Chains A and B, each alone.
Chain A
Amino acid sequence: DSGVTQTPKHLITATGQRVTLRCSPRSGDLSVYWYQQSLDQGLQFLIQYYNGEERAKGNILERFSAQQFPDLHSELNLSSLELGDSALYFCASSAWTDQETQYFGPGTRLLVL
């Protein structure tokens, strides 16, 4: 158990809908990262937050957005969902004192029908 929690574990929705994925980092970790894992794209970095501020952006679609709240939990919002958004979405966190090491949550498996 990495200490990173993600909810929900599974999500099934329809095209055009909007969903919110939630992540709670390890206690005390200020950085949160979101990754997408799909069969065709592999594991791709989406976005990073540090203490509530966006720090880095990767291959994140404009239909996707994220935020980190004062209690340091983070949410990834996916809107106007398409079939191709079906994937496993991981959240990871790292400590301020050891930013090289990212600890991953169990992921949220999203299926868009």
Chain B
Amino acid sequence: AQSVTQLGSHVSVSEGALVLLRCNYSSSVPPYLFWYVQYPNQGLQLLLKYTSAATLVKGINGFEAEFKKSETSFHLTKPSAHMSDAAEYFCAVRVTGTASKLTFGTGTRLQVTL
């Protein structure tokens, strides 16, 4: 069965600093990988997705992620954090095939300080 592990339940960065949120996946077949963001009292919004095309994926709000098969990782980065980036971020995996369910990580809460 596929799974994702998010390292660090809380990450704090200064405004303007690099954001790095870690996600490692486990899957016996090529996965589809996703990053979602959840702002307080809101639903999940798709940031970006990897579906076996380019390994470097660019998403919304300046975020990007790189699929590294050798490291089974799909870390999320943003060069310069903004206060509005404070939210909870979820990595998710979906195995290609008939089942379309997403399996989510436990989430990382990003705090951005002045």
Contact = CB atoms under 8 A, between A and B. Distances in A.
Interface of A: 2, 4, 31, 33, 35, 42-45, 48, 55-56, 58, 90, 92, 94, 99-107
Contact of B103 (A45, A102, A104, A107): A45
B43 A90 contact: yes
A88 to B, nearest CB: 9
A90 B107 CA distance: 16
Given A43-B90, A56-B101, 9 more contacts: A33-B100, A43-B107, A48-B100, A90-B44, A100-B51, A101-B49, A104-B43, A106-B43, A107-B42
Interface residues of B, number: 21
B99 A107 contact: no
17 contacts: A35-B102, A42-B105, A42-B106, A43-B104, A44-B104, A45-B101, A48-B101, A56-B98, A58-B101, A94-B100, A99-B100, A100-B49, A103-B46, A104-B43, A105-B43, A107-B42, A107-B43
B45 interface: yes
Interface of B: 32, 36, 42-46, 49, 51, 90, 94, 98-107
Contacts, number: 54
B107 A42 contact: yes
Nearest to B32: A100
Nearest to A107: B43
Q: Which 10 A-B pairs have the closest CB atoms?
A: A43-B104, A45-B101, A104-B44, A104-B43, A106-B43, A56-B99, A42-B106, A107-B43, A100-B32, A100-B51
A57 to B, nearest CB: 9
Contacts of B105: 42
A102 B51 CA distance: 13
Contact of A104 (B45, B51, B98, B106): B45
Given A42-B106, A100-B32, A2 B100 contact: no
